[in-house]
């Protein structure tokens, strides 16, 4: 049974895969981080699962709808597919305790720094936790990783592929 487990990389989205522009949901404002598509492909080629875990409080704040997130993630997936890369699952948290939209105004264990999105993926996919890690750009990403029993790596800037390759080699 243990042989069927796969290592995984859990990517934060804004600031890691794409340039973080406040409350991004429009495809025409989306900019891939340098080397991001190549990084996802490197993760795929190394036999790792690739996941996105992203807080999307803009939904709770009334700035956009969940459908907008799905549209953007579908577009990202098609861009990746065109380059032979894939994300195995996109997870997001639309909730925020200070939200303006009633049905999204709440504390959620899926909102980083809580590990809920990671834990849900661990329940759904056969992940080898010991060889998996989170790549984020904020303390909340690293805290979520730690709470889920994973290592967290902070990506600041530069080429994401160059950042990821040594981490995959260590796995």
Which pLDDT tens digits describe the chain residue by residue (171 residues)? 445 899 999 999 999 999 988 888 889 999 999 999 999 999 999 999 999 999 999 999 999 999 999 999 999 999 999 999 999 999 999 999 999 999 999 999 999 999 999 999 999 999 999 999 999 999 999 999 999 999 999 999 899 999 999 999 765
14 is catalytic: yes
pLDDT score recorded for residue 171: 58
Domains parsed from the chain with CATH numbers: 2-155 (3.40.50.1000)
Q: How far apart are CA 11 and CA 22, in angstroms?
A: 18
pLDDT score recorded for residue 21: 82
pTM of the model: 0.95
Q: How far apart are CA 151 and CA 130, in angstroms?
A: 9
Q: How far apart are CA 51 and CA 59, in angstroms?
A: 21
Are 23 and 4 in contact by the 8 Å Cβ rule? The answer is: no
pLDDT score recorded for residue 106: 96
Are 69 and 56 in contact by the 8 Å Cβ rule? The answer is: yes
12 is catalytic: yes
pLDDT score recorded for residue 1: 42
């Amino acid at each position: 049974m243990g042989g069927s487990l796969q290592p995984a990389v859990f990517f934060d989205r804004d600031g890691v895969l794409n340039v973080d522009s406040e409350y991004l949901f429009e495809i025409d404002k989306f900019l891939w981080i340098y080397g991001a598509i190549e990084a996802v492909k490197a993760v795929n080629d190394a036999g790792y699962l690739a996941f996105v875990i992203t807080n999307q409080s803009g939904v709770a704040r009334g700035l956009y709808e969940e459908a907008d997130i799905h549209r953007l993630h579908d577009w990202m997936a098609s861009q990746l597919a065109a380059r032979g890369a894939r994300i195995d699952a996109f997870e997001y948290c639309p909730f925020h305790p200070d939200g303006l939209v009633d049905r999204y105004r709440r504390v959620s264990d899926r909102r980083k720094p809580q590990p809920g999105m990671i834990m849900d993926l661990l329940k759904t996919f056969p992940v080898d936790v010991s060889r998996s890690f989170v790549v984020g750009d904020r303390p909340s990403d690293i805290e979520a990783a730690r709470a889920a029993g994973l290592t967290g790596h902070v990506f600041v800037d530069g080429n994401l592929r160059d950042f990821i390759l040594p981490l995959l080699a260590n796995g």
